Chain A
Amino acid sequence: MTRHAKPISRGRRALSLALAATTLGLFATAGALWASNSGPATATAAAVVSASQTKTVTRANLVDGQDDVVDSRQVTVNVSSTQSLRDRQAIEVSWSGAHPTGGVIFDDTSQYAANQEYPMVLMECRGSTSTTAPAAQQISPETCFTQTPEERYQPRSFGAFPPYRVDRYASVADRALVVGAPAKIPDTCEELDVGAERWVPFVAASGTAYYGGQNGCAGLAPEQSTVENSLAPPNTTFATTDLAGNGSTKFVVNTADTNASLGCSDTVPCALVAIPIMGISCDAQGTAEVTPGAALPPADVPTDQTKTFSKCSQTGAYPAGVPGTQGSAGTTAQLSVTGQLWWSASNWRNRIAIPLTFAQSASVCGVVSKAKALSFFGSESLLEATQQWAPAFCLNPKLFPIAHVQQSEVAAKNLLQAGLTNVSTNPKKEVWQYTGPEAVFQGEPPATPFTNPIVQAPTAVSGFAISYVMDDAKGNEYTSLKLNARLLAKLLTMSYPAYPDVKSGWKTYSVTTNKVTTQPYAALANNPLDLAVDPEFLALNPGMTNQNINQLESSATLYAMSGDSDVMTALTSYINSDPDARAWLDGKPDPWGMVVNPNYRGIALPVSQWPQLDTYYDSLNSNECMADNQAPILPLIAAPVSDPSIIPFNVQYGIANSQVVCTYANDLDNAANRQLVALGREDPGIRFILGVTSIADADRYQLNTAALQTQRPAGPDATFSDLAGRTYVAPTDDSLKAAAQLLTPDTELGTWTLPYDKIRTDPDDALAYPGTMLLSTDIATQYLSASDAAQYAQFLNFVAGTGQVSGLANGNLAAGYLPLTAANGLTQLVNYTKAAALAVAAQQGHVPALTGDPPAPTATDAASGPTAAGDGSPTTPGDSSTNPAAIAGGPGDDASSPAASATAAPTKAGSGSTAPPTSTIDAIPAGKTTSAESPLLGYALPGLLALGLLTGLGSAAVVGVGRR
């Protein structure tokens, strides 16, 4: 028996081990599965995540082997949003406890700002902030982006031992005479023979090192430049800390879309690095040992230690808060405490690095998906939303890519209406198709209602905003701008002369026609020069009094778009609805005596394209470029743009678009060489720019938005000096919600409209934002191909459901849009969009009724041409219907999908009371029932039975075999 005992117990052991291993394996699998549980496919909203860090920063010189702490502070940095960031998004950075700045330069992103003493340096750097990551992947001065080479290069003109060379925290290698130079210094770099030199190369995401150097002689990255690029200002900021140690600024983050060399994206980690400059901690005696045992070579020990130390340990030439000067005039800032040495070890070790994460850019769709994209044409106002929705579509293999082609809404609507053509070659048979756009995003209903069956499905609630960047008399940014309709009319109608010469020219300007001489501008000669000195403006914005009139052009106009736009329709509707503004436009002077430009007197509003009507040529003020073709001056100042997305860019960077600067190449006298260009960037401290943007753009780029007037005290129009009895509403979620709840259905136009009169007169509605616009998707409900129709219907269902969840993740609703939800009182709109989805999928030419009222019933026949379908109101009695096509995503969806319930709509009329004529057939939705099948798992039971039989037989067989 003993002989059998061993193999048997071994067998038993083996068996139990095997079972134990299996059990453990199953547990491990369970754990792994649980950890990686992806959860249901519902959209989760990503919230705004802010971050804050505190650090104690010190400046301690090493004197005779002893620490001499000069300064120690506790600095806290707060960042408003650090996750799911998008390109060019502005985040608020604020800090406290830092050293006040001296030699203040207002423009904190300019190259001169590095010369401030004790600035707070803010940079975007590539890499991980974790100290345990491999050194090559951590942030370092080499991966931090600066635009000009001067911000990361110290030339040889400051002697042998400038402050950065005696930095006690610098490594031995960094204290050599020339540090960081390229292997071969190009000949174009002018080099002195003596003196210390420090290069801090910029390493791009590709690995290429750009050394920069004097005037960029050793190579610059494509996004860098030797002079400030006014068209693409950098985000490297040398910000000012006030006397209390606090400061705040807006920091613009760039992803690889804008700055490919820095290369931040959703897969490449980056950080916001804040360096509170405290000055170099000096070690003039060369005794510091950063790495124990590694002593400084004698060549790197300063010769004249007293002089070196006194230069290094300087504490600043400017008192805190005193403005600095650019250039050589005035007090020179002391290098040791300027922002120029941000990369030196003393300052770099004081850094506060806050990791940033980025959302997946919409450009991923171009790379990921080769499938044909579903196209939408139109409104720029929806661009922010579609950019955030698009990746959710193109990255989902069950869905399809969507493409939003930005176009003027008016043009797109016209193309949609006109695009229905008979493409049949057979004269007896008509085949209708949409040859142009099939879906259009609009902000306002079409001027002439659609004659084809086209449904206007509510997609988002947003609006226009008057974005601005303004500095007050002290040069601080002004953030509480209030405007009324009349001020907007004044800006648009070119009623401000802008230049004193224009004003005086108007006084004498006369026109003779048919022997009658008139002085059309005589009444305007008393108009204020620009908005900044308009008494009505100053009554509403007392904080702007005594503002230095530096910007004459940009303060005399409102930058808007030049082409047709629904935004302009909405803006002029608001202006037209205000009786004071309307009376002023008709010629009545305002209470202070300002009158409208005669070319615009009596203009009929609303308009979709603002006309440029002024023809006054200013011979006194004209430069050569203007004289070339006698261009009227005021349209040049107004300078509307064709691409509406340029306006938020200009407001964000304070760029005045007025085309009044004459540039020439080489020869001023040659007319062919010269052209008019924009004024360009206005210096911080004296900015005054207003532009019409969408609310979503204003949110993304953190632009200030004006509060528009909703109500004023009843009674005749009179001068006023304060805000008593007046309400001004800025675009916020609450004010959009208040306005959205006022939207009233208009059956003739086929959509909801905003009642401006109600906002102006009803005290309960005073807090509704008058610039609200209902953005809708216009899609044809007949003659689309079945696949397109199904996809559009899927899009509409998405829009009506998960697409309205606010957040930062892809697939969420971007900031600046009010979600269409029951919580915001917008159930009617949501239900209508769902009903629209059904109608689009059915493609029967039905356009759902706005309110459910029974219309004149028409049994539409798919074979008839479009004109027949246009007869009568193309609506169906009630919308609760079973859905014919498989909508709401995903295979395996059974054919009877959920119906759109119109039950919560309070205006549900007792429909069905008008009995349709007996000859009408009850409308049956097109399409046939489909069956859902489960091919694999359905065979589970017979499969298991077969398995059981097999194994049973198998075990009997093994017994038989074993016996033999």
Chain B
Amino acid sequence: MTAVQERPPAHREQDSPTVLGRAAGLRLPRRRRTHGSGKVATRPLRVSHLIAIWAMLACSVATAWFVFFALVLSSLQFQHSQHNLYATFREQLSQEVAPLGGEIAPDSPVALLSIPALHIKDSVIVEGTASADLAKGAGHRRDTPLPGQPGTSLIFGRETLFSGIFGHLASARPGELISVTTGQGIFSYKVEQVRHAGDHFPTLLADGESRITFVTSEGADLANGWTPQRTVYLDAKLQGKSAEAPPGLLSSVPDAEQAMNGDVSALFPLVLWIPLLVLAALAAVWAQERWGRWQTWLVGVPVVLAALWGVTETGIQLLPNLM
């Protein structure tokens, strides 16, 4: 199209085909106006192409963000949660109101874990083993007694995401010491064995004996894209006397709290977060027209980032809890 055309007096920048391209940070060729018979070397992009580019770019950016969040930012969130939980738990311990057993509200801190050989120091164990709980710290499975109480206590922990505190669990050696602090006191455990699929179970416990079994996944690394391969267990036995457990223990936990399961109920908040993100993005685009560039950037970035954070944080809950 080489004809000369008059610019309509009401021409506004947003009628230009390159606005969308500019907003995406792409430098698309402007249509060159020529008087005369100059050829235009490049054609402006058709709308359908623009939409396709937009969609794929958005997808690409979103997935990149997701992976970035999962591997890097989640650790930040984990540290933040642990900091808050530690403060709460410390206060509870000092006032002797820490939970002792029975039915404990999920996500509340129940114990402090220290495994010097694995460089874990005073990590707060929370109640519950769903994906969301394990994002805050190691999780205590709700239908087992607390550490320090008779019976086998199950503690789940993540391998890769959210700092992956149990990432090196399989490297523990028999005889290494583990210390757990609960509202009932400080208990010392000794590692018995690391168990993989196909290994025999540990010996039966006598009446009054206590054992902790730490559960995590293993086999995830860069080569296989951080995919957890299987679960691995670490058994540790209490040295000394156990403390009596109050009654009221749950008899079973829902599917979302079992090993290597994601939390399907995270879909509900997710389908609310996603429209919120979309709205934020649309509002930013719209504001860029009406308001101005730097104003939009100043206000829009935190808003869009917050929505994005919400989406990814909720989306991660769909992934296996031991990942």
Where the two chains meet, the residues of A that have a C-beta atom closer than 8 Å to any C-beta of B are: 1-5, 7-12, 14-16, 19, 22-23, 26-27, 29-30, 33-34, 37, 40-42, 797, 800-802, 822, 827, 852, 876-882, 884, 888-890, 892-896, 898-904, 908, 911-912, 922-925, 927-934, 937-945, 947-949, 951-952, 954-955, 958-959, 961-964
Interface string of B32-74 (1 = CB under 8 A from A): 0000000000111111111111111101111110110011000
Q: Pick the contact of A892: B43, B49, B260, B275 (CB < 8 A).
A: B260
Residue of B nearest to A852 (CB): B207
Q: Is the CB of B225 within 8 A of A942?
A: yes
Does B279 have its Cβ within 8 Å of any Cβ on chain A? yes
Give the residue of B15, B205, B248, B279 whose beta carbon is less than 8 angstroms from that of A822: B248
Interchain nearest-CB distance for B21 vs A (Å): 9
In the complex, are the beta carbons of A958 and B56 less than 8 A apart? yes
Interface string of B251-292 (1 = CB under 8 A from A): 110110011111001011001101100110010000000000
> Contact check: which of B51, B215, B260 meets A15 at CB < 8 Å?
B51
CB of B249 closer than 8 Å to a CB of A = yes
Complex Cα distance, B267 from A925, in Å, reads 40
Report if B208 contacts A (CB, 8 A): yes
Q: Once bound together, how far apart are the Cα atoms of A30 and B314, in whole Å?
A: 14
A33 CB contacts on chain B under 8 angstroms: 267-268, 271
Of residues 180 through 235 on chain B, the ones whose CB sits less than 8 Å from some CB of chain A are: 195-209, 211, 213, 215, 224-233
Quick check: B60 and A955 within 8 Å, CB to CB?
Answer: yes
B209–A880 touching, CB < 8 Å = yes
A945–B63 touching, CB < 8 Å: yes
Q: Determine whether B99 belongs to the interface, using a CB cutoff of 8 Å to chain A.
A: no
Q: Does B164 contact A (CB under 8 A)?
A: no
Chain A residues with Cβ below 8 Å from B51 are 11, 15
A16 to chain B, nearest CB (A): 7
What chain B residues lie within 8 Å of A941 (beta carbons)? 67, 70-71, 225-227, 319
List 4 additional contacts besides A888-B251, A898-B152; criterion CB under 8 Å: A19-B282, A876-B204, A896-B213, A898-B154
Instruction: State the CA gap A964–B230 with chains docked (Å).
Output: 50
Residue of A nearest to B24 (CB): A955
Picked from B20, B62, B198, B260, the residue with its CB within 8 Å of the CB of A934 is: B260
A943's nearest neighbour on chain B, judged by CB, is B225
Partner of B231, one of A879, A890, A932: A932
Chain A residue at minimum C-beta to C-beta distance from B52: A958
CA distance A880 to B245 in the complex (A): 13
Q: A903 is contacted by which of B7, B245, B275 (Cβ under 8 Å)?
A: B245
Q: Which residues of A contact B59 (CB under 8 A)?
A: 947-948, 951
Residues of B within 8 A of A894 (CB): 154, 215, 231, 258-260
Which residues of chain B have C-beta atoms less than 8 A from A23's C-beta? Answer: 275, 278-279
Contact between chains at A911 and B208 (CB < 8 Å): yes
- Give the distance to chain B from A17, nearest Cβ to Cβ, in Å: 12
Q: Which residue of A lies closest to B29 (CB)?
A: A963
Collect the chain A residues with CB atoms within 8 Å of residue B200's CB: 924, 928-929
A822 in contact with B247 (CB, 8 Å) = yes
Within the complex, what minimum Cβ distance (angstroms) separates B247 from chain A? 5
- Complex contacts, A40 vs chain B, CB 8 Å: 254
Would B67 and A944 count as touching, CB distance under 8 A?
yes
Find out whether the CB atom of B207 lies under 8 angstroms from the CB atom of A877.
Answer: yes
In-complex Cβ contact of B225 among A34, A903, A945 (8 A): A945
Give CA–CA (A904, B101) in the complex, Å: 12
- Measured CB to CB, the closest approach of chain A to B41, in angstroms, equals 10
B298 close to chain A: CB less than 8 A: no
Bound: A27/B276 CA distance, A: 10
Show 5 residue pairs from A and B whose CB-CB distance is below 8 angstroms, ordered by the A residue: A30-B271, A800-B251, A900-B151, A951-B60, A954-B56
4 A-B pairs with the lowest CB-CB distances in the bound complex, closest first: A942-B225, A11-B47, A878-B207, A948-B63
Chain A residues within an 8 Å CB radius of B63: 944-945, 947-948, 951
In the bound assembly, the distance between CA atoms of A912 and B206 in angstroms comes to 7
Interface residue? B244 (CB, 8 A) = yes
Known contacts: A908-B207, A929-B200, A937-B318. The answer to whether A899 contacts B225 by CB under 8 A is: no
Question: Would B262 and A937 count as touching, CB distance under 8 A?
Answer: yes
Q: Interface 1/0s, chain B 145-165, versus A by CB < 8 A? A: 100011110100000000000
Take A9-B15, A822-B247 as given contacts and tell me if A2 and B8 are in contact as well, using a CB distance cutoff of 8 Å: yes
Assess whether B57 is in contact with A42, with CB atoms less than 8 Å apart.
no
A937-B319, A941-B225 known; A892+B231 contact, CB < 8 A: no
Once the chains bind, are A42 and B64 in contact (CB under 8 Å)? no
Query: Chain A residues with Cβ under 8 A from B258's Cβ?
Result: 890, 892-894, 932
State whether the Cβ of B106 lies closer than 8 Å to any Cβ in chain A. no
A930 contacts across to B, CB distance below 8 A? 197
Chain B: minimal CB distance from A959 (Å): 6
B141 at interface, CB cutoff 8 A:
yes
Give the distance in Å from the alpha carbon of A943 to the alpha carbon of B55 in the complex. Answer: 18
Least CB separation from A888: chain B residue = B252
* Contact with B195, one of A797, A925, A929, A958 (Cβ below 8 angstroms): A929
- Pairwise interchain contact A827-B247, C-beta atoms closer than 8 A: yes
Q: Tell me the bound Cα distance from A279 to B115 in angstroms.
A: 87
Question: Given that A19-B282, A912-B208 are known contacts, is A928 also in contact with B150, CB under 8 Å in the complex?
Answer: no
Q: Nearest residue in B to A40 (C-beta to C-beta)?
A: B254
What residues on B are CB-neighbors of A888 within 8 Å? 251-252
Complex-state Cα separation, A951 to B5, whole angstroms: 37
Cα A9 to Cα B11 in complex, Å, equals 12
Complex: A42 Cα to B149 Cα, angstroms: 26
Contacts of B67 in A (CB 8 A): 941, 944-945, 948
Shortest Cβ gap from A811 to chain B (Å): 13
| B-chain residues with CB within 8 Å of residue A878 when the two chains form the complex | 204-209
* B309 shortest CB reach to chain A, Å: 16
Q: Which residues of B contact A10 (CB under 8 A)?
A: 47
Q: Report the bound CA distance from A931 to B57 in whole Å.
A: 39
